[in-house]
Structures are given as structure tokens and as C-alpha cells.
Amino acid sequence: MKEIKIKGSMIYILPVIHALQGEEKKVKDAFEKIKPDCVAIAIPPEDLEIIGRVDGEEVEMSLQHQYYLLHLSTYGKISLPPRDITLAHEMAVEKNIPLKAIDVDDMEYAELLTQHVSLISLIRHSRKIKKLGKRKFKAKNAEEFVMEWEKEVNSIKDFREMEDKREEKMVDNLIKLCEEYRKILAIFPLEKYEKIVSRLERYKK
């Protein structure tokens, strides 16, 4: 977990593998150690709105995410909805701490897709996802797998550029929280951890 001071506030960046059972312990330990006054999660606002009412319900997901979870399940048990996220929600509610979604919303994502991804790239990406569903990954553990998966799904330039813009937005949203909160626990997917830390380091004071 990386600690970065920005605008007089301390941001604690916690990397997790969403949906992998056991990752929720990292969230619990971070809560107890940091005692944050705000929690930021790299998920869309729409996902945050339904966190408290999805337990026991069927979770809709894209084909890409289905394949991702299928491969991830070879490295450990899967929890749906992701227990790391639902626990963050439960602890925030229990301790009366604001919980903020800092990823782009569905409309912003659609705009990024339109602005940065051509039809040809979209078709190529769709074909790649189907191939990844059948692929045998070389990763020896879950950590290696999520990094390998991230590299593959963003190997097409247009999608890589779109993800860059999305990460910029997440960092911007996180920095804005520093104007209001002094200790922020920021939960990010492991595969984006290093890139997010690198972006935040530019604002460090």
C-alpha cells in the first residue's frame, strides 16, 4: 500500500484483486490501520448505487468480465458481488464514512469509447476477447494473471488510449477529494495500481 501526500491530505492506495476471495481482508486491515475519513473506490457511480442491494441477486456482466472471472477462478475462489467492495461499503456505513466512486460513469465511458475507439478496433477487440476466453495463461498466481490479462485486453492502441483517459479521470476525482478529506483510503484494482501511483506522484507535495 502506497502513501502519497497531496494538498495536505494523505492518500493510502490499496491494490486488490476484485472478486478474489481473501482480498476483503486487505480492506479490513487497511480500515483498521488507517482509520480513514473517506473511502474512494475505482468503480463507476452506478455500481456504487447498487452495492447495498445486490446480495443474493444475479449479477449481470459483460462477456469480457465473464471470461476474466473464469480464468481468475483457477487461482482461487470467486465471490460475487466482490467481497472486497461489499466489505468496504459495509465498513463505511458502519463507521459513517463517505464512500466515493471515482471511476467514470456509464455515459462518460460511452463518450470515451466513441472518441477514442474506431469501429475496426472495436471488432478486433471483440475477437481478441473471444480468443482470450479459450487461452491458456502462463501466470503462476492471481497477481501475475491480472497483469497478463490487463496487458492483453489493452494491447490494441485505441483501447489503451481510452484506458489512459479513464485513469486520468480517476486520478482527477481522487485529487478533488483531497480538498475535503484528510485521510483517504483509495481502493484500486491491482492491475492499475502502479499506473495510478505514478500519476499521483506528479501531484505529490
Measured between alpha carbons, how far is 199 from 188 in angstroms, rounded to an integer? 13
Helix H segments across 17-95?
Answer: 24-34, 45-50, 63-72, 83-94
Mean pLDDT of the region 16-34: 96
pLDDT at 39 over 70: yes
Domains by residue range for the chain, with CATH: 2-60+76-115+157-199 (3.40.1010)
Q: Rounded to whole angstroms, how far apart are CA atoms 11 and 175? A: 9
**What tens digit of pLDDT does each residue of 89-99 get?**
999 999 999 99
pLDDT value of residue 56:
46
Strands 9-16 and 2-6: antiparallel
C-alpha cell at 125: 477487440
Least confident of 47-56, 101-110, 170-179, 189-198: 47-56
Per-residue pLDDT band for 205 (boundaries 50, 70, 90) equals low
The CA distance from 107 to 92, in Å, is 26
Residues 129-143: what's their mean pLDDT?
Answer: 93
State the pLDDT at residue 35.
Answer: 96
Beta bridge pairs of residue 3: 12
Task: Tell me the whole-structure pTM to 2 decimals.
Answer: 0.92
CA–CA distance, 170 with 44 (Å, rounded to integer) = 10
Q: How many helices (H) and strands (E) does the chain have?
A: 9, 5
CB distance 54 to 81 below 8 Å = yes
What confidence score (pLDDT) does residue 96 get? 95
